[in-house]
Amino acid sequence: MIYLTDLKPGAVFIYNNAPHKVLTSEHSKQGRGGAIMRTRLENLITGALFEHTFKGNESFPEAEIERKNAQFLYKEGTDFNFMDSKSFEQFSISEQQLGHKRNYLKEGIEIEILYFQSKPININLPIKMNFKISYTEPGFKGNTQSATTKPATLESGAEVQVPLFIKIGDTIVVDTRSGEYLGRA
C-alpha cells in the first residue's frame, strides 16, 4: 500500500482503477486538521494531467508497472509504433495516451516503455534530449534589458522558446518534462 507520505514525485499507484504517476507533491499540515498532500498526477493510461488533494488517512494500492526498453519506429495516423529491443515485437501506443511526450519522439530513439497488466500504456523519456532546430525566425539586435526569446520548431515538430541567437540547423538541449530550452548541444 502507498500512504500519504509516499506520494512523492515518481511514485506510481492505483487511483480510480487506473495507474497514476505523481509529478509534483506538496505536503501541508493545517492547524487542528489532519495533514493533506497537494499533488499533480498523470493518468498513465489516458495521459491526462490533473491536480488532486489527498487527506491524511488515505492509502492506495501500489501499481505493478513493468518497464522494458524499446525503439520508436514511426508514427502512423494517431498511433506511434515501437519495437521491443529484446523480442523485436512491434506494438503501438495512441497519441492520446502519450500526451505531451509525443512532441519529443524522434525516429530510432531508445526509450523505456511502461506496461500495466501486460499492455504497453505509456513511455518514459530521457529528461534531457538533443534536437535540431528545423525552423525559427531570424534574431534581431536591439535594446533588450532582459533575456528575450522567440519560438522555434524542433525536428520532432514541437515548438519551444529559445534565445534570439539560435538559428535554423542549431542543435539544442530540451527538458522533456517542461519543454524548456536548456542550452546548446
pLDDT of the chain, 185 residues: tens digit per residue = 888 888 899 899 999 999 999 989 998 887 777 788 899 998 888 888 899 998 878 889 998 989 999 999 999 999 999 999 899 999 999 888 888 888 999 888 999 999 999 899 888 888 899 999 999 988 776 656 667 889 999 998 889 999 988 899 999 999 988 889 999 88
Which helix (DSSP H) or strand (DSSP E) does residue 96 occupy?
helix 95-98
What's the pLDDT at 57? 82
Looking from the CA of 24 toward its CB, the CA atoms found within 13 Å total 8
Q: Which three cell numbers stand for residue 52?
A: 488532486
- Contact indicator for 173, 183 with CB cutoff of 8 Å: yes
Is this structure's pTM higher than 0.85?
no
- Contact indicator for 105, 89 with CB cutoff of 8 Å: no
The contacts of residue 32 (CB under 8 Å, 6+ apart) are none
The 8 Å CB, 24+ separation contacts for 13-17 are: 13/60, 13/61, 13/62, 13/63, 14/60, 14/61, 14/62, 14/63, 15/41, 15/52, 15/60
What's the pLDDT at 96? 86
Q: Which residues pair with 92 in a beta bridge?
A: 81
Domains located in the chain, CATH noted: 2-60 (2.30.30.30), 65-124 (2.40.50.140), 128-184 (2.40.50.140)
